[in-house]
């Protein structure tokens, strides 16, 4: 059996759907905080069990009988994130799972400027220390994040953000397809995969050009100093920690931490990954 955590989330749900296209539902299980949100999966024959990262005993039960576990990384940072992942990895070892897979990120490193990438590096260390087979899916930075950053530019046609660098913005659907292929043993990686990314890395200057072409109206790119951008975020009521984390994305991009564009994702899904232009057209309905 293949168990997927976070199966009601944006990525986890897509992975389960793609997995069900490859294997029978009785080979798939999900570990979710709220089983009611996965009722439709249960109705389709998927094993649904409650599993809470803050309750290790529940994780051990939800992982019972699994040959593979896909640990979808938590939407937390720092010690809270790493401790949750540690609980899941310990429960997986206790359950005797043969292979643990984990949704890591390109740029995962102990000296990364972006906190989640440091969390991913620590989680990969824990997986390595189990002595069991493991795979870290080094996912590209989500294209959905770039689309979110662009929202304020839609009415103004001015992309006013801190200085950045090329980022291989990658779609959730493509990453879900790749994860499902690996879980279904269409491909296998030991340890970290190569970066699973779109075929091109773009900075916001390039994105401004794409937005202009897609919408038929000119978009400009204005570089906002980091300090001024941070003050804007704080003025909207965000805590300082959130402002600093957001700024660290741009700092990491400036230093090339998300710039790799690798062919592995295309090989896994059997086609070129969705371009950022296509993601933007779909999101903006143009």
Q: Domain residues of the chain, as ranges?
A: 2-139+172-192
What's the predicted TM-score (pTM) here? 0.96
Residues 6+ apart with CB under 8 A from 12: 4, 5, 6, 30, 70, 72
Closest alpha carbon to 193 in 248, 275, 127, 130? 127
**Is pLDDT above 90 for 282?**
yes
Q: Is the pLDDT of residue 96 over 90?
A: yes
Phi and psi angles of residue 77, each rounded to the nearest 5 degrees, phi first: -135, 160
Count Cβ atoms below 10 Å from residue 60 Cβ, excluding itself. Answer: 18
Task: Determine the Cα–Cα distance for residues 178 and 264; give it in Å rounded to an integer.
Answer: 9
What pLDDT digit, counting tens, does each position of 203-259 carry?
999 999 999 999 999 999 999 999 999 999 999 999 999 999 999 999 999 999 999
Q: pLDDT over 90 for what percent of the chain?
A: 99
CATH of region 2-139+172-192: 3.40.50.720
- pLDDT of the residue at 87: 97
pLDDT at 88: 97
What pLDDT shows up at residue 286?
84
Does position 135 have pLDDT exceeding 90, yes or no? yes
Quote the pLDDT of residue 51: 95
Mean pLDDT of 68-74: 97
* Euclidean distance between the first and the last CA atom of the chain, given in angstroms as a whole number: 42
How many angstroms separate the CA atoms of 132 and 70, rounded? 14
Per residue in 14-59, pLDDT (tens digit) is: 999 999 999 999 999 999 999 999 999 999 999 999 999 999 999 9
Per residue in 237-246, pLDDT (tens digit) is 999 999 999 9
Distance (Å, whole) CA 101 – CA 91? 14
Average pLDDT over residues 147-171: 97
């Amino acid at each position: 059996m293949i168990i997927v955590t976070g199966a009601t989330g944006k990525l986890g749900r897509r992975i389960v759907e793609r997995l069900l296209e490859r294997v029978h539902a009785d080979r798939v299980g999900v570990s979710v905080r709220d089983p009611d949100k996965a009722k439709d999966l249960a109705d389709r024959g998927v094993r649904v069990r409650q599993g809470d990262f803050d309750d290790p005993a529940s994780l051990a039960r939800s992982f019972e009988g699994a040959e593979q576990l896909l640990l979808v990384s938590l939407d937390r940072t720092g010690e809270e994130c790493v401790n949750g992942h540690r609980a899941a990895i310990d429960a997986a070892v206790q359950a005797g799972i043969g292979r643990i897979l984990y949704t890591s990120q390109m740029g995962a490193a102990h000296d990364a400027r972006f906190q989640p990438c440091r969390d991913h590096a620590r989680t990969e260390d824990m997986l390595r220390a189990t002595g069991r087979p493991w795979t870290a899916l080094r996912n590209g930075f989500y294209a959905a994040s770039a689309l979110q950053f662009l929202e304020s530019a839609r009415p103004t046609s001015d992309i006013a953000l801190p200085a950045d660098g090329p980022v291989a913005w990658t779609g959730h659907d493509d990453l879900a397809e790749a994860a499902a292929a690996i879980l279904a043993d269409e491909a296998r990686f030991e340890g970290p995969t190569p970066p699973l990314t779109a075929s091109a890395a773009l900075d916001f200057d390039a994105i401004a050009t794409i937005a202009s072409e897609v919408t038929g109206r000119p978009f400009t790119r204005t570089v906002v100093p980091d300090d001024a951008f941070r003050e804007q975020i704080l003025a909207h009521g965000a805590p300082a920690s959130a402002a600093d984390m957001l700024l660290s994305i741009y700092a990491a991009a400036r230093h090339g931490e998300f710039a790799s564009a690798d062919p592995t994702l295309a090989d896994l899904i059997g086609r070129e990954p969705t371009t950022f232009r296509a993601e933007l057209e779909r999101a903006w309905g143009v």
